[in-house]
Structure 1
Amino acid sequence: MPPAERRPLVAVRPQPGDLLRVDGRASVQFGGDRALTFRVVSVGPEMPHTDWIWLTGYVLNRRGTATVKREIFVQTTFLRRIAQATARQVTGQGGPAGPCVTHHVVRTQ
């Protein structure tokens, strides 16, 4: 079994800052080569009795750089949290939040 298959499933509700591997088990649209690494920014309400949830966050490329902001609808039962050591390799950073995407707000008077 490949290492990605052995990673623990997310046993609790995802939280902002979590780094997840989202594949076809979480939602059919992410099957095969469409699987992605996802940094959670916000978590929507869970759908009662279904284990499906809306997550907002950033898709990370192989270098750990955020490439696009997305909202995804996935089954929480099949989300996989990327281990801290792996997260450092993917994001290139040691902190739990990984790369930070900052939005600057300019206020005019």
Structure 2
Amino acid sequence: MRPSLGDLLLIDGRASVQFAGDRALTFRVVSVCDRPTYSGWIWLTGYEINRRGNATAKRDIYIQLSGLHPVTSTSAPSRSRATRPYASRNDQGDGRAGRDRSGLRARADARADAR
């Protein structure tokens, strides 16, 4: 298997002894090096992906093509941050500017003055 950009791969001891056992990792490919190497080996640049689907570290790895395996299932990255509505410049965190729309009036007045 020849990897391409965006591939999600399982890198384990089959790809290289340095990734055997508990050193195995999930890897998202961002670059495939085309410089010549030993037959059947390749340099890849990408990101180590954790169990939540988030990139944790950028790495360059040297592995055997025959040992590459695509990851068949992954969990989607979770969205742990709550989204907040747009806060106006007058909003000091108490929500008052959003309720009385004073931030919107201030911007509209500034636009009218600029004309």
Task: Map Cα deviations across residues 32-76 of structure 1 (whole Å, 9 max, x no partner).
Answer: 000000000000126466210000000001101100000000001
Report the counterpart of residue 65 of structure 1 in structure 2.
54
User: Identity of aligned pairs, percent?
Assistant: 57
Given the alignment of the two structures, is residue 76 of structure 1 paired with residue 65 of structure 2, yes or no? yes
Larger RCO: Structure 1 or Structure 2 (Cα < 8 Å, ≥ 6 residues apart)? 1
- Unmatched runs of 5 consecutive residues or more in structure 2: 78-115
Letter of the aligned partner of 1:74 in structure 2? Answer: I
After TM superposition, the runs of 4+ consecutive aligned structure 1 residues lying more than 3 A away are 46-49
Report the counterpart of residue 34 of structure 1 in structure 2.
23
TM-score (norm 2): 0.62
Bigger Rg, which one: 2
* Higher normalized helix content (fraction of residues): 2
The alignment's C-alpha RMSD in Å is: 1.5
* Higher normalized strand content (fraction of residues): 1
Aligned residues: 77
TM-score (norm 1): 0.65
2-structure distance, mates of 1:47, 1:29? 21
Q: How does 1:15-34 map to 2 (within 5 A)?
A: 15-34=4-23
